[in-house]
């Protein structure tokens, strides 16, 4: 089977173009969406992510604040900043880049974010809204991006068996909730590290979403002919032939699997580009909801 490559860069560009129109319209009515990104410490990967988020805001004309706090920042100081941002009318979205340093209790910090500004969708109020299918809530950006990819390629989910590998609050669980919701109607199985005979389970799937963090774990043995495979994984593996000494691979062994699939996302260029596009979408949504009269 010749698979269709799902082009996340292309779909992300379409999402951004449509957001641009919305932002221009908001601005013409005197409203500018605003996002605050808070980074604690100097983790290099986090610095890159934060930089990309701020850059995406600038490209779309979203107002942004970048707060780069030292690793020594206390929980109280961080929470104080969150309260300040909650009260700032220029800011509609707040995110604290994960993971913070070990002395910070991330869950406790998230509880302090006004759920109406929680554009990462991590606050328990938004987790509940996702389960309740309340569309005013905020859904974590990566699974939201996966749903956009399915929609963009007209991939039917109703009545299909989807296996989501991974049960994190950032990807696996929200992904499963989105797929089982009444506007998607898939039958969903969530698999995890204790799942028995994962390859056999995955072979029953029409749609596989891999969100594990194990390089190329999903091999041809996991995939039935014609399945749709979305690969969320971002893993570094050593590669001396590359200038940086590593390359990025997904959780799926792309070359081994692709010829069995009807649709597949590459890594990079599949799910990855969608995450920031959906963060921008959540920020615009928060702005609309906070400024609606």
Which residues are identified as catalytic?
Answer: 53, 97, 120
Task: Please identify, using beta-carbon distances, which residue of 96 and 232 lies nearer to ligand NAD.
Answer: 232
Please choose, out of 16-24, 62-70, 175-183, 211-219, the segment that lies near ligand NAD by the rule CB under 6 A: 211-219
Size of the site for ligand NAD (CB under 6 A): 24
Taking residues 81 to 120 in sequence order and writing x for each that binds ligand NAD by CB under 6 A, - otherwise, the string is ----------------------------------------
Residue 12 binds ligand NAD (CB under 6 A): no
Determine the residue with CB nearest ligand NAD: 168
Please choose, out of 20-28, 147-155, 206-214, 279-287, the segment that lies near ligand NAD by the rule CB under 6 A: 206-214
User: b or e along 170-185 (b: 16 or more beta carbons within 10 Å of the residue's beta carbon)?
Assistant: bbbbbbbbbbbbeebe
Task: Please identify, using beta-carbon distances, which residue of 69 and 248 lies nearer to ligand NAD.
Answer: 248
Determine which helix (DSSP H) or strand (DSSP E) holds 66, and give its type and residue range: strand 63-69
Residue 213 Cα to chain centre, angstroms: 14
Task: Please identify, using beta-carbon distances, which residue of 81 and 212 lies nearer to ligand NAD.
Answer: 212
Cis peptide preceding 219, ω within 30 of 0: no
Compute the distance between CA of residue 147 and CA of residue 121 in angstroms, rounded to an integer. Answer: 15
Check: CB of residue 122 under 8 Å from CB of residue 130: no
Q: From the CB of 38, what's the least distance to ligand NAD, in Å?
A: 18
- Cα 55 to Cα 58, 62, 241, 279: the distances in Å are 5, 10, 30, 12
Residue 53 binds ligand NAD (CB under 6 A): no
Interacting residue with ligand NAD among 46, 101, 161, 213 (CB under 6 A): 213
Compute the distance between CA of residue 288 and CA of residue 224 in angstroms, rounded to an integer. Answer: 43
Residue 6 binds ligand NAD (CB under 6 A): no
What's the full length of the chain, in residues? 293
Query: Over the Cα atoms of the chain, what is R_g?
Result: 19
Task: Please identify, using beta-carbon distances, which residue of 137 and 172 lies nearer to ligand NAD.
Answer: 172
Sites for ligand NAD among residues 157-196 (CB under 6 A): 165-168, 170-172, 191-193, 195
- CB atoms inside a 10 Å sphere around CB 125: 16
Compute the distance between CA of residue 186 and CA of residue 212 in angstroms, rounded to an integer. Answer: 21
Q: From the CB of 182, what's the least distance to ligand NAD, in Å?
A: 25
Compute the distance between CA of residue 200 and CA of residue 173 in angstroms, rounded to an integer. Answer: 21
Sites for ligand NAD among residues 257-286 (CB under 6 A): 271-272, 275
Q: From the CB of 195, what's the least distance to ligand NAD, in Å?
A: 6
- Cα 243 to Cα 44, 233, 247, 268: the distances in Å are 18, 22, 9, 17
Sites for ligand NAD among residues 220-259 (CB under 6 A): 232-235
Q: Residues in the site for ligand NAD, rule: CB under 6 A?
A: 142, 165-168, 170-172, 191-193, 195, 198, 211-214, 232-235, 271-272, 275
């Amino acid at each position: 089977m010749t698979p269709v490559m799902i082009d996340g860069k292309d779909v992300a560009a379409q999402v951004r173009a449509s957001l641009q129109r919305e932002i221009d319209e908001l601005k013409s009515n005197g409203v500018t969406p605003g996002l605050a990104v808070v980074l604690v410490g100097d983790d290099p990967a986090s610095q890159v992510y934060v930089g990309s988020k701020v850059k995406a805001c600038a490209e779309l004309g979203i107002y942004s604040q970048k707060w780069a706090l030292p690793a020594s920042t206390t929980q109280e100081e961080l929470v104080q900043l969150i309260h300040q941002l909650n009260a700032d009318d220029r800011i509609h979205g707040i995110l604290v880049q994960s993971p913070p340093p070990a002395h910070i209790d991330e869950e406790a910090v998230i509880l302090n974010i006004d759920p109406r500004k929680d554009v990462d969708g991590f606050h328990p109020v938004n987790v509940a809204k996702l389960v309740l299918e309340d569309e005013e809530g905020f859904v974590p950006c990566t699974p939201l991006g996966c749903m956009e990819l399915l929609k963009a390629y007209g991939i039917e989910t109703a009545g299909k068996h989807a296996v989501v590998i991974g049960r994190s609050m950032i990807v696996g669980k929200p992904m499963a909730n989105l797929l089982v919701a009444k506007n998607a109607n898939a039958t969903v199985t969530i698999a995890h590290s204790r799942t028995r005979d994962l390859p056999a389970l995955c072979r029953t799937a029409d749609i596989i979403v891999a969100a594990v963090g194990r390089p190329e774990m999903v091999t041809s043995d996991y995939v039935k002919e014609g399945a749709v495979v979305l690969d969320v994984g971002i893993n570094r593996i050593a590669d001396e032939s590359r200038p940086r000494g590593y390359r990025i691979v997904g959780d799926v062994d792309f070359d081994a699997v692709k010829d069995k699939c009807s649709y597949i996302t590459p890594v990079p260029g599949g799910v990855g580009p969608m995450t920031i596009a959906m963060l921008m979408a959540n920020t615009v949504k928060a702005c609309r909801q906070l400024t609606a009269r």
